[in-house]
């Protein structure tokens, strides 16, 4: 019996799609991502010996490697088919090291699209693992580790626990903070405009704007200048002095690449970059099309090249010709330039088969998958169509020594815009602006004349779309990492979203300020961009990766040593004086609560006040709200205060009395309600007092009722044991910093198991794994699904799980 060949990809979904194309001679398995990485609890880089990385097998992947090794003993050849980029190359290299197969049995294959043709092409052209690409990924990983694992602890010590810094992440934060500073420093300037409604002799109306005074472009800085021009126009005869007609062509945009896909999906579909990349990944890996089975619908979505293969160009030109006609098809294909520094390793993002029009797939895709596929299809089809054509008319009207201007344009041929209209994608289309028939020498009547005051506006805050554009233009990072970067700075509370734009928080501004002051090299935009070029040179074999890392670390290590000694949050004197002793109040930073005012006579005087310190540097004292609640411990009045985690009552005798009470606001009356601590039928193992349920930043937990004398706490179990092998913990309900509920192990940080969906007691009847509860959008009926990525079991009937083994 002939031996089979093993194909290893990094994604279970992709493995499932590929498996149906390769046939019985192949076994397709997944590594489920990276199998080796730098250690979690240490730097993992030997900076004294050529930055040697200390890779270790990812704990969760031990069974996966064991299974792959066992399979390798039974097969003839091994094809490593992880994604065709640096990360995929590194996965292949680590698999090669761990599987221990002979060199001649292992080959690398590249699948740029998960279709029959794409897979056959990859399998027919096997190559060796590209060690230059591996080294480029390794250099990036080490650089990011050196920055993240050495600066982040400093931020934790000086600012607040749980903060992080990153080689690219922190520069992206700087871009946002620089814009915040520009907004803060902006001083609006006054200017005026004059608009007119004019009529022809045939009583046709159109609008015009003041354009020139004399021979100079009109500038009206104040009301006096505006009134002078207004009076001239009001009293003048209006005669058309010039009519200029031109033909204007609007060319289509290039097919989408990673950065432009994220930008357009953000601005047009309102999809977050992270969501966009997840949807694109699912379209690339394969979607079930019913009779056709699993099919990859788009080419590889991590690319910076606008290049398109000849076969794809031929296919899309055939579709344009047959569906839209020869007038929509240019005489030869359109070609587009790629961004500066593009690697050109892969094609632009396009449909794998342009004949699969979006409307044919609507029933096979989720709502957002369909919207994204339609966007990719539309941009690709449009990119190979003829320009839209407009007749543009510019009219100048003489009004004494002033000149007015009116403009109009009429689309005479839709060109590529036709496919955008057909797909109901109108946001990118230029609209007609109609003018009546006008000729030089025509006299006009003035129907309305209006002068308006305006003020210049500050630069807008970055949206996801415009931030991605700024990062690309400055050469910061790679588009494939932008989604993760933006998600991280949100999770760290460095920014908050306001009207879909990034607004730097006081914490983000502080972190940015400290990093610029102490790590000028890391935070330098041009240096970061230059580092990207060096990584590209490593991939091209033009620079040794150790040299690239060494060039960075030489200066970074000096700055790190200085920062360990000197980094501190600066204190600032304010205009406020202490109510107790008359001393100046200082603006200080607390690792627990953020900015606050503290008496400069501390520790002799311990007066302190909460403040709001906004992103524009405005300082406002928050006075505690008095209540009628009396502290049961010292009989003083209790006041209502705010923390990062909500409202609470605190004794006005603080710091002598530290009694607090949790409160909530009634949704109907808006009145404050004291939340009574729920007692449980369990006693504190340390002092014997009753345990009560409390709410903290991570959710509910059990605490000793004798607090603060006894500080015993305990997580609340949901009745499910941790599924990790060897772990004796149990699953508890927790909350993220943003308040989103998730479920994690009680033994954290020793065990970092966590899931978003609530686990249940019953185990998977197929593999014995953890079952979780899922709710479809708009439905209150639960589904139950195995949490294992390698097990596809799911059911909507809890009865099917009753036969499975229950936990005791």
Please give the positions annotated as active site.
300
**Residues in CB range of 752: below 8 A, 6 or more apart:** 744, 745
Instruction: Report d(CA 626, CA 621) in Å as an integer.
Output: 15
Reduced to 3 states, what is the DSSP secondary structure of residue 295? strand
Q: For residue 204, give both structure tokens.
A: 């046709």
Q: Is 460 exposed, middle or buried (0-12, 13-18, 19+ CB in 10 A)?
A: exposed
Helix or strand (DSSP H, E) at 398: strand 388-399
Residue 380: is the preceding peptide bond cis (ω within 30°)?
Answer: no
| Backbone φ and ψ of 750, nearest 5° | -65, -35
Closest Cα to residue 416, out of 390, 443, 445, 435? 390
Closest Cα to residue 361, out of 416, 428, 286, 255? 286
**Residues in CB range of 321: below 8 A, 6 or more apart:** 328, 329
Contact 402, 166 (CB under 8 A): no
Instruction: Report d(CA 619, CA 633) in Å as an integer.
Output: 34
Contact 690, 705 (CB under 8 A): yes
**Number of separate helices (H) and strands (E) present in the chain:** 18, 41
Reduced to 3 states, what is the DSSP secondary structure of residue 5? strand
Q: For residue 169, give both structure tokens.
A: 């992440």
- Tokens 């200085």, residue located: 562
**CA atoms lying within 13 Å on the CB side of residue 110:** 16
Burial letters for 193-208: b for 16+ Cβ neighbours within 10 Å, e otherwise?
ebebebbbeeeeebeb
């Amino acid at each position: 019996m002939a031996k089979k060949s093993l194909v290893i990809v990094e994604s279970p979904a992709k493995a499932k799609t590929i498996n149906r194309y390769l046939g019985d001679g192949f076994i397709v398995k997944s590594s489920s991502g990276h199998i080796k990485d730098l250690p979690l609890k240490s730097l993992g880089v030997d900076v004294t010996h050529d930055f040697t990385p200390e890779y270790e097998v990812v704990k969760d992947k031990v069974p996966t490697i064991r299974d792959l090794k066992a399979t390798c003993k039974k097969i003839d050849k091994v094809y490593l088919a992880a994604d065709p980029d640096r990360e995929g190359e590194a996965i292949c290299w680590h698999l090669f090291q761990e599987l221990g197969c002979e060199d001649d049995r292992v080959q690398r294959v590249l699948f740029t699209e998960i279709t029959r043709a794409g897979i056959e092409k990859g399998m027919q052209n096997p190559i060796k693992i590209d060690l230059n690409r591996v080294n480029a990924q390794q250099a990036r990983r080490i650089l990011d580790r050196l920055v993240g694992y050495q600066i982040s602890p400093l931020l934790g010590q000086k600012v607040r626990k749980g903060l992080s810094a990153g080689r690219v992440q922190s520069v992206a934060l700087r871009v946002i903070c620089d814009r915040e500073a520009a907004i803060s420093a902006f001083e609006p300037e006054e200017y005026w405009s004059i608009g007119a409604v004019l009529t022809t002799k045939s009583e046709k109306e159109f609008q015009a704007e003041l354009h020139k005074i004399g021979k100079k472009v009109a500038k009206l800085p104040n009301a006096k200048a505006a009134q002078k021009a207004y009076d001239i126009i009001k009293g003048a005869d209006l005669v058309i002095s010039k009519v200029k007609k031109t033909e204007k062509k609007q060319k289509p945009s290039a097919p989408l690449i990673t950065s432009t896909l994220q930008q357009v999906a953000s601005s047009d579909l309102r999809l977050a970059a992270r969501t966009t990349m997840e949807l694109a990944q699912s379209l690339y890996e394969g979607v079930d099309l019913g009779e056709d089975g699993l099919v990859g619908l788009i080419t590889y979505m991590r690319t910076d090249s606008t290049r398109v293969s000849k076969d794809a160009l031929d296919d899309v030109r055939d579709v344009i010709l047959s569906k839209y006609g020869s007038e929509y098809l240019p005489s030869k294909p359109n070609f587009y330039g790629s961004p500066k520094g593009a690697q050109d390793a892969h094609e632009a993002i396009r449909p794998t088969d342009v004949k699969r029009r979006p409307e044919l797939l609507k029933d096979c895709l989720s709502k957002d998958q369909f919207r994204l596929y339609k966007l990719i299809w539309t941009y690709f089809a449009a990119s190979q169509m003829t320009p839209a054509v407009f007749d543009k008319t510019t009219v100048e009207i003489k009004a004494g020594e002033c000149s007015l201007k009116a403009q109009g344009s009429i689309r005479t041929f839709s060109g590529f815009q036709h496919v955008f209209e057909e797909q109901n994608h109108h946001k990118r289309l230029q609209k007609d602006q109609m003018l009546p028939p006008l000729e030089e020498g025509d006299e006009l009547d003035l129907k309305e004349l209006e002068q308006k005051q305006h003020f210049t506006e500050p630069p807008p805050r970055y949206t996801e779309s415009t931030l991605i554009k700024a990062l690309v233009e400055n050469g910061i990072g790679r588009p494939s990492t932008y989604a993760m970067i933006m998600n991280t700075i949100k999770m760290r509370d460095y920014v908050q979203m306001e009207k879909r734009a990034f607004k730097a928080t006081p914490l983000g501004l502080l972190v940015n300020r400290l990093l610029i002051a102490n790590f000028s090299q890391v935070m330098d935009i041009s240096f970061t961009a230059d580092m990207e070029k060096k990584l590209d040179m490593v991939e091209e074999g033009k620079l040794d990766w150790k040299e690239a890392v060494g060039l960075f670390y030489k200066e970074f290590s000096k700055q790190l040593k200085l920062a360990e000694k000197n980094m501190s949050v600066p204190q600032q004197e304010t205009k406020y004086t202490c109510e107790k002793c008359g001393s100046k109040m200082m603006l200080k930073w607390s690792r627990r609560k953020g900015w606050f005012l503290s008496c400069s006579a501390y520790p002799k005087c311990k007066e302190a006040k909460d403040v709001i310190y906004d992103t524009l540097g405005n300082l406002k004292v928050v006075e505690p709200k008095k209540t009628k609640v009396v502290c049961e411990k010292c009989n003083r009045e209790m006041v209502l205060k705010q923390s990062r985690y909500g409202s609470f009552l605190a004794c006005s005798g603080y710091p002598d009395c530290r009694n607090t009470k949790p409160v909530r606001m009634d949704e109907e009356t808006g009145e404050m309600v004291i939340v009574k601590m729920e007692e449980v039928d369990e006693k504190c193992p340390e002092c014997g007092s009753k345990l009560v349920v409390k709410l903290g930043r991570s959710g509910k937990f059990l605490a000793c009722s004798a607090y603060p004398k006894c500080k015993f706490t305990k997580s609340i179990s949901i009745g499910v044991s941790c599924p990790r092998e060897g772990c004796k913990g149990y699953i508890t309900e927790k909350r993220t910093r943003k308040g989103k509920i998730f479920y994690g192990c009680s033994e954290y940080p020793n065990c970092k198991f966590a899931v978003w969906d609530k686990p249940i007691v019953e185990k998977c009847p197929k593999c014995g794994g953890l079952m979780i509860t899922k709710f479809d959008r708009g439905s209150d009926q639960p589904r139950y699904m195995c949490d294992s990525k390698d097990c596809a079991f799911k059911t909507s009937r809890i009865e099917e799980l009753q036969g499975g083994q229950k936990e005791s």
